[in-house]
Amino acid sequence: MAGVIERRSIAALLLSLCAICPPSASATENGGSNYPVGAQTVFPGIVQPPGFNFNAVENVYVANRVNDARGERTLPRFHLDSEFTSLSLGYATEPIFGIRFGAGITPQFGRAGVTSQVGVARFQQTKKGLGDTYLTPLEAGWEGELDWLGPWYQRVQFVILLPTGAYDVRDRVNLGRNYASYGATWGLSSTVGSEAWNSRDLKSRPH
């Protein structure tokens, strides 16, 4: 699943731009990306403080409809719900020539369930456990300030996504994407005004 996550607060206006191109993969589920959109799209330009850091991000997705290319319902009875918790453990250095370096790992744990019915045929399946893992062996970030913009932050990361989640080609519900990928991300964030928001454009090209 891919998409955009939006956060608002009374403290700041956050602008972030980021792209990722993971070039390596094997068999994939529906040709989708295994990048954890939602878990890695909040303040992507800000490097964690020096030392060890721990963050938890909760993602919930619910759908009651599946549409075809014309926007029409394809299944008369359908329900999907999933909930994933991303737990990030990272470490960052003190600034070295104005740049902070870091590394981290983000395993994901969750539950996903699907229920559908066509006529008298009914299907239901639920899985829970470990999902895919997001590994950051190296990241670097720096910051500055502009009169018209205020504080701004940039961060670049080298990332590896590991297929640690369960996958079975015979199942309709899987917690993993069944392939590994790697790539680089760049994030830009700025805190201005009274609202906070961010968005990320995600491009993935599995092979």
Q: What pLDDT sits at residue 126?
A: 93
- Token readout for 24 is 């390596």
Q: What pLDDT sits at residue 129?
A: 94
pTM: predicted TM-score of the whole model, two decimal places: 0.69
Q: What is the pLDDT along the chain (207 residues), one digit of tens a residue?
A: 333 333 333 233 333 333 333 434 444 445 556 565 655 666 788 888 899 999 888 888 898 988 888 888 888 788 989 899 999 999 999 999 999 999 999 999 999 999 988 778 888 999 999 999 999 999 999 988 776 667 888 999 999 999 999 889 888 888 888 889 999 988 888 776 534 444 444 344 444
Q: What pLDDT sits at residue 33?
A: 60
Q: What pLDDT sits at residue 37?
A: 60
Q: What pLDDT sits at residue 38?
A: 59
DSSP state of 69: T
Looking at this protein, which amino acid is placed at residue 199?
S
Q: What pLDDT sits at residue 206?
A: 46
Task: Using CB atoms within 10 Å of the CB of residue 197, give its burial: 0 to 12 exposed, 13 to 18 middle, 19+ buried.
Answer: middle
Closest among 43, 75, 28, 5 to 180, alpha carbons compared: 28
d(CA 132, CA 2): 15
Q: What pLDDT sits at residue 57?
A: 86
> Residue 193 forms beta bridges with which residues?
none
Q: What pLDDT sits at residue 152?
A: 84
Q: What pLDDT sits at residue 54?
A: 93
Q: What is the dihedral of CA 147, 49, 8, 195, to 10 degrees?
A: -20
**Strand residue runs (E) in 97-177:** 100-106, 108-118, 121-130, 133-146, 150-162
